[in-house]
Each structure stands twice: as C-alpha cells, then as structure tokens.
Amino acid sequence: MKRILEMKFIKEDGKTTTISFDNIKDNVTDTDIKNLMDFIVTKNIFTFKGVGISEKKEAKIINVDTHNVYID
C-alpha cells in the first residue's frame, strides 16, 4: 500500500499551501512529522513565488490501495 504524507502550511500572505511526500516509511511517527514541519517553518526552506511559510496548519498520512480492474 502506498503511503503519502500531506502537510498543509499557512504562507505569509495568509493562503494555504500543501507539500506532499510519496512512499513514506511505515515507522514515521506524529512526532517525526511535527518536527519536520517545525523545521520547514523555522528554516524557511520553501518559498512560493517569493512568499514564505509562516505556520503549520495540518498534516495527514493518506493510505492508497490501488486495485486494477481488468476489462478484457
């Protein structure tokens, strides 16, 4: 099963942006994610058209189960 980490942040302009990581490990904890998000905000790693991230909004892990449908 594919696991996607989706993190939402509020940018300095008040708009929300989403950063996603595919295929995260099964042993990633809530604390790991919180620490990563804190690091992203504190170090101002990402900017979007010159606008930085000002705060965390939410995060979730999405489990994707793909089932192929055979139509022959």
In a domain, 71, yes or no: no
Tally of structural domains, the chain? 1
Backbone angles phi, psi at 49, to 5 degrees: 55, 45
18 pairs with which residues across the strands?
A: 8
In a domain, 70, yes or no: no
Q: What range defines the domain where residue 34 resides? A: 2-64
> pTM of the entire structure?
0.85
In a domain, 72, yes or no: no
**In this structure, is the dihedral angle defined by the CA atoms of residues 24, 58, 39 and 31, taken in order, positive or negative?**
negative
- Here the contacts of 28-36 (C-beta below 8 Å, separation 24 or greater) are 28/61, 33/5, 33/7, 33/59, 34/59, 36/7
Q: 14-57 pLDDT, tens per residue?
A: 999 999 999 999 999 999 999 999 999 999 999 999 999 999 99
Question: Are the beta carbons of 7 and 59 closer than 8 angstroms?
Answer: yes
